[in-house]
Amino acid sequence: MKKAALLIDGGWFAKGLGKQLKLPMNWPSAKQLLDCAKSVLEDREEIFRIFYYDCEPFDKKVTNPIDQSEVDYQATPSFKARKNFFNELSQMEYVAMRRGELKARGWELSDRYKKRLLDQSLPHAAPNAGDVYPGFQQKGVDMRIGIDVAILSLKRLVDRIILFSGDTDMIPAMKLARREGVQVYLVKLGSWPLKQNLIEDSDGVRILKI
């Protein structure tokens, strides 16, 4: 038997899975996520641990710069759903949670408003309150994935790492693992493409059929 660690970038995998399955709020339940993740395991692989990397939902108030309206994200349905998801997932077998931090970094223009700006047949107008939204940024998630890949590899805790991520920032950690003799597999989520340089630095790609 081969020991395998599943490393799941939640911002990539959970969101992508929710969209492809057309789930409410584009987000799977904890059981759906783990069932799908474990489906890529081969017969002679046993789970060492499932590492899940993500940020807790944003829980602060923000004030719209256009009309000064305030949104309390902690009172939204999506906040409560995400908190329940984290609580359920953290209590499941073999799961280790790795939490980063989600921060609001200024404001961004909606795609609808950008298209209106580019359409020369329309008069240009200042954005209204619905044309802007907070720009959220994850902090610390990639670093935590890289640290765990290094520890698993240098201590030879596993034979294989199965990585659920489309982020090319993972490549240095993947190279280290392979140099240490640990096999690294990527997971392709349905029809979503993976970047070629990610594939080149892996030992193979497993297709998660939706």
Between CA 52 and CA 48, with CA 84 as vertex, the angle to 5 degrees is 25
Q: Which residues contact 140 (CB under 8 A, 6 or more apart)?
A: 100, 101
> Which pLDDT score is estimated for 51?
98
Q: From residue 106, give the alpha-carbon distance in Å to each of 14, 63, 78, 132, 134.
A: 25, 11, 21, 10, 6
Structure token pair of residue 81: 């759903």
Structure token pair of residue 174: 């993947």
> Which pLDDT score is estimated for 182?
98
Please provide residue 115's backbone torsions phi and psi, each rounded to the nearest 5 degrees. -65, -40
Structure token pair of residue 26: 């584009």
Listed as ranges, residues in the chain with pLDDT below 70 are: 210
> Which pLDDT score is estimated for 146?
95
> Which pLDDT score is estimated for 98?
96
Beta pairing partners, 206: 187
